[in-house]
Structure 1
Amino acid sequence: MSDHIPLVVIALKTVTLVVGGLITYLAVKASQRTEIDGLSVLAVGFGIITFGSLLAGVVDQLLRVDSATALVVENTLTAIGFCLVAYSLYVTKRQSLPE
């Protein structure tokens, strides 16, 4: 495989990191403002997804591990993050129900 990274991949990873970081930041701020536990979990979920994208690039480019390993790292963290996002929606729904 070529060591050359297409510019479009770099651009898309940058967008992923910026937007993922923004979503994480906004979820943290909303959690602090509203004190809804589900928003905290949502922030952690999006943070893990974003971190997974960053870590995969680091593993692939800086540590010179094979691309398959980097892909496994990224997809594992993405799956964990999405599980947390789904859980956060469940927790938030349960908290909003009348007692």
Structure 2
Amino acid sequence: MSMMVDTAIIVLKTIILLLGSGVTLIALRAFRRTGEPALRALAVGFGTITLGAFLAGVAHQFVGLSLKQGIVINSLLVAMGLAVILYSLYIQR
């Protein structure tokens, strides 16, 4: 059972990494094209969320932290990323 859960975590974290990287890249390209600060903040926010998912998976699978510790890492970075995304929507006037 543990091997199946580990495999699911690796597969899902990989999917999150790919999708999050895609969204971050699109937002970054839009920022470079327009120079709009809100798009830069949006890219940073999505990048932070993606990094959180990646680091949580690495911490659990390769560093040996517990699943709970990985969840704390993920939750902290997701909260930070969402705060930056909220800011990006706020500065868009």
Same fold (TM over 0.5): yes
Q: How do 1:58-69 and structure 2 match up within 5 A?
A: 58-69=58-69
Gap change, CA 1:5 and 1:81, over 3 Å in 2: farther
- How many residue pairs get matched? 92
Separation in 2, partners of 1:70, 1:91: 32
The amino acid across from 1:90 in the alignment is Y
Separation in 2, partners of 1:25, 1:65: 30
2:31 corresponds in structure 1 to 31
The amino acid across from 1:85 in the alignment is I
Q: Is 1:72 aligned to residue 49 of structure 2?
A: no
Q: Is 1:56 aligned to residue 56 of structure 2?
A: yes
2:81 corresponds in structure 1 to 81
Gap change, CA 1:32 and 1:63, over 3 Å in 2: same
1:97 corresponds in structure 2 to none
1:45 corresponds in structure 2 to 45
Bigger radius of gyration:
1
- CA positional deviation for 1:47: 0.3
- CA positional deviation for 1:41: 0.4
1:96 corresponds in structure 2 to none
Per-residue CA deviation, residues 29-88 of structure 1 (Å, 9 max, x unaligned), is 000101100000000000000000000011101110111111000000000001101110
Runs (5+) with no aligned partner, structure 2: none
Runs (5+) with no aligned partner, structure 1: 94-99
Q: Which has the higher helix share?
A: 2
Separation in 2, partners of 1:59, 1:11: 15
2:12 corresponds in structure 1 to 12
The amino acid across from 1:26 in the alignment is I
Separation in 2, partners of 1:56, 1:48: 12
TM-score by length of 2: 0.91
